[in-house]
Amino acid sequence: MKKAYSETIESNLEHLKTSAQGLSQAEAKARLEKNGKNVLAEKKKKSGFVKFLGQFKDVLIVVLIVSCIISVVMGAIENSVDEFIDAGIIFVVVLVNAVIGFYQERKSEKAMEALKNMTKPYCKVLRNKKSIKIKTEELVVGDIVILEAGDIVPADLRLIEASSLKIEESALTGESLPVEKDAEAFLDENVVLGDRVNMAFMGSVVTYGRGVGVVVATGMQTEMGKIASALSEIKQEETPLTKRIKSTSFLITAIVLVVCLVVFVVEVATGGSVMTSFSMAIAIAICAIPEGLPACNTVTMSMGVKRMSEERAIVKTLPAVETLGSTEVICSDKTGTLTLNKMTVQKLYFMGENCEAVNAIKKPEDAEPFAKDKNFVELLRCMVLCNDAKIRFEEDRLETIGDPTEIALVHYGFKLGLHKDNLEGKYERVNEIPFDSDRKMMSTFNSVGGKIYVYTKGAIDSVLARCNRVMENGKIRRLTTKDRENILNANAGFASHALRNLAFAFKTVEKVGKPTSENTENDLCFLGLVGMIDPPREEVKEAIKTCKQAGIATVMITGDHKDTAFAIAKELGICTSVNRVITGAELDEISDEDFAKVVGNFQVYARVSPEHNVKIVKALKANDKVVAMTGDGVNDAPSIKSADIGVGMGITGTDVTKEAADMILTDDNFATIVGAVKEGRRIYNTILKILTFLLGTSIAELFLLTVILLVFRDQNFFTPALILWINFVSDTFVGLALGFEKAERDIMKRKPIKNKGNLFKGTVGFNIITSALFVSIMSLGIYAACTYGFKLTPQETTTICFLYICFTEQLHAYNLKSDTQSLFRMKIFDNKVLNWCFLISAFLTTLIVVIPGGAFQAALGITTIEWWMWLFAVGMALLIVPFFEIVKLIIRTAQKRKKR
């Protein structure tokens, strides 16, 4: 069967068993029941229960659950309340972590559902030979659809009528300018999507003219549906930090299992009972696993998601937050993200005293010097009247429908007090010659005071060729060769700034009659040139500068021509050499393997297709880059899903793109991405601080407890309950407070963190190992001093070691406010949550030691102690501050040497 675009109108109607008068209601109902609704199939959503279970798949969570189950079993066997208490505490922590994660994902889903309102729910069709409105989802193949300016095309249509019809198809093709349609065109079967001028595709927007088309495909059979279907084949990858945490978790789990096995075997071999030995092994596991880590990570990311939503960025899943923090390349669509997605008048040229181009007037008061200039006034009038854009007021705002360039002209006139509806009330349009691609111009006939003005606009070559006069200083004279040369030079000057130029002319006639281009569009008087562009967003330039300082490369991707793309990129500071620009055609000449080797040489991609976007992402990822990709159209969805972090547009984005994205920008602004990256870096760094804090403690406890058990043979040193107190009250409580840390001043001046291997590499690993060694060696020294030097009781020794570890960790949280910066060069107490958590944790730790006797102290294995023992424990704990100052000095020195 031939494609719809390669068949005649008559053949299509015959094949679809319909007519130009449309289907009957009965036939439409039968087809709807047979083929289903005109909707895109949504990915089958997981049930709430399945999503909740998904929160338990982390390896550390699994180890904790297993420890919890074993504790319950042992408690039942030995009839021990302590084991049940331990299991209960672990269970509560795991449950809280799961609830927080589940709640945040559900919250993001609701935000996404609120954004899914981007297509019109109704369309106009012919049924029973009458024009009626129906729900878009009720369209069927064979329906006849009527299109007008402002309509969103509801399905794939083979056009059967097109009257000056232009459709903006950027959502599918990436082409930013509207495509002029031709229903009579007969096309080859191999013609590419963007050149199918006799078709209208689902999701595209009518910007000009009107048309009629027959539905040839609905729902998942449309071009939009095909792309949506292809997305399911793209595998979602794990985030960079998730990979590192998983690698670290497996390593910790392996070490813990080995140590537990060694402790169990040694204890049994030396005469210990199996149950006691097993209990000791479980205690080792509990002390080594940072129980609070999942909860701390989840809470930190949840707070980050909340902050981002307040800054107009909706993050769909928690792990996507930390991926933002390690982003190395941001590939951004130009239109609407780097630019305003709004054509704007930038320059004007009209014949005045100096014959020079003037910058577009931005404010009404700036127009006063030109108010009496007849050239300017007549040019402005022509811009507004020779224009088919429709206007209306919505809540005191000007709303426009039509071609983007015409909207720009109307907005410019409106800004200077020339309202199109008021002007047309005075200058009544009595006739017109519509735009067509052969003439490349249009003309309107406006009557006022018995005079008929012919206003013409179009391409410079077409309009200038029909002019023989020019208006200069309010007077009309003959157009000279020098004038033509000046006009063409001005046009070239505009073009060098990537402006889209239109020429304007006029004349007066006695009567209209039956106007044609031949009898009307001649002997025109040239009025001037207008240069327009979709301008860069003001805040984007600074955002790109911030990216450069942060070591993040910005790559611009656009369907525009090479010169336009380079002009915008140069203005934004993305690149300064045209050698850094490559076109889609040039990209096609390079194999995937070769492109991966040279992808770093290019920062601007012009005239590219959706397939090129995927190629760019793959090449960057082949170089181990963490890539963020933005997009709004259906055509962008595959590349968005292929990237490490896909960014969809909330305003202009299609539902398919939003579904594929990890993050949605509710303002479609590049600067919002950079703000989200900064927050992502804060979260990433905060999570690393929490990991350093909790893993350092866990490793110290693991080393300490193992040595005490195997070397000193002290089986009652730290009870499981006491270990859990340290892990939760002292560590997790304070660790959570680190999640409220502000971003460090230089966070956007650092290079992105490389995400390879486990967390025991680099600065993080150095901090974890040094702090763990310091605390464990100091604890062993205190244990030996108390036991063999001071000759204290086992309970007193345990209590002093317990106080030392708790106070050390609570103080160490302040050390970790920065990996490298001295504590005394920072605002030590700016994190109020950390201050309160420190005080509460220290108070509770002190309280359980100060209050004498009771079952609580007995369960923990501690006792009250004398004042000098308090001073000894606190004094030893304070040493963590100078020690870590030395560690930071070593790191800073190493970093300085590396820079050299």
Alpha-carbon gap, residue 85 to 720, rounded angstroms: 10
Tally of CA atoms within 13 A in the half-sphere of 333 that contains its CB: 33
Active site (annotated) includes residue 333 = yes
Structure-block tokens of residue 185? 């065109």
Q: Are 559 and 175 a contacting pair, CB within 8 Å?
A: yes
SS3 state of residue 197: coil
DSSP state letter for 577: -
Alpha-carbon gap, residue 821 to 814, rounded angstroms: 11
Structure-block tokens of residue 87? 């299991």
Comparing CA positions, the residue from 579, 624, 525, 566 lying closest to residue 243 is 624
Alpha-carbon gap, residue 626 to 325, rounded angstroms: 10
Angle among Cα 437, 438, 440 to the nearest 5 degrees reads 60
Name beta bridge partners: 391. 400
Structure-block tokens of residue 637? 């969805």
Q: Are 553 and 603 a contacting pair, CB within 8 Å?
A: yes
Alpha-carbon gap, residue 456 to 443, rounded angstroms: 4
Count Cβ neighbours within 10 Å for each residue of 447-477 and write b for 16 or more, e otherwise: eeeeebbbbbbbebebbbebbebbbbeeeee
Q: Are 300 and 687 a contacting pair, CB within 8 Å?
A: yes
Give the total residue count for the chain. Answer: 900
Q: Are 232 and 42 a contacting pair, CB within 8 Å?
A: no
**Where does 711-744 have alpha helices with state H?**
720-725, 733-738
Q: How far is CA 577 from CA 548, 601, 606, in A?
A: 16, 11, 14
726 burial via Cβ count (<10 Å: 0-12, 13-18, 19+): buried
Angle among Cα 691, 693, 695 to the nearest 5 degrees reads 60
Comparing CA positions, the residue from 543, 54, 648 lying closest to residue 318 is 54
Angle among Cα 749, 753, 757 to the nearest 5 degrees reads 170
Among left, alpha and beta (phi > 0; psi -120 to 50; other), residue 24 is beta
Which helix (DSSP H) or strand (DSSP E) does residue 665 occupy?
strand 663-665
Alpha-carbon gap, residue 338 to 541, rounded angstroms: 9
SS (H, E, C) 240-302: HHHHHHHHHHHHHHHHHHHHHHHHHHHHHHCCCCHHHHHHHHHHHHHHHCCCCHHHHHHHHHH
Alpha-carbon gap, residue 191 to 2, rounded angstroms: 13
- Where do we find the tokens 């509560």? 92
Which helix (DSSP H) or strand (DSSP E) does residue 570 occupy?
helix 562-572
SS (H, E, C) 133-167: EEEHHHCCCCCEEEEECCCECCCEEEEEEEEEEEE
Q: What's the alpha-carbon Rg for the chain, to the nearest Å?
A: 36
Alpha-carbon gap, residue 443 to 441, rounded angstroms: 7
Alpha-carbon gap, residue 463 to 275, rounded angstroms: 97
SS3 state of residue 180: strand
Q: Which of 58, 143, 156, 333 is catalytic?
A: 333
**Torsion sign over Cα 720, 722, 725, 726:** negative
- Give the residue numbers marked as catalytic: 333
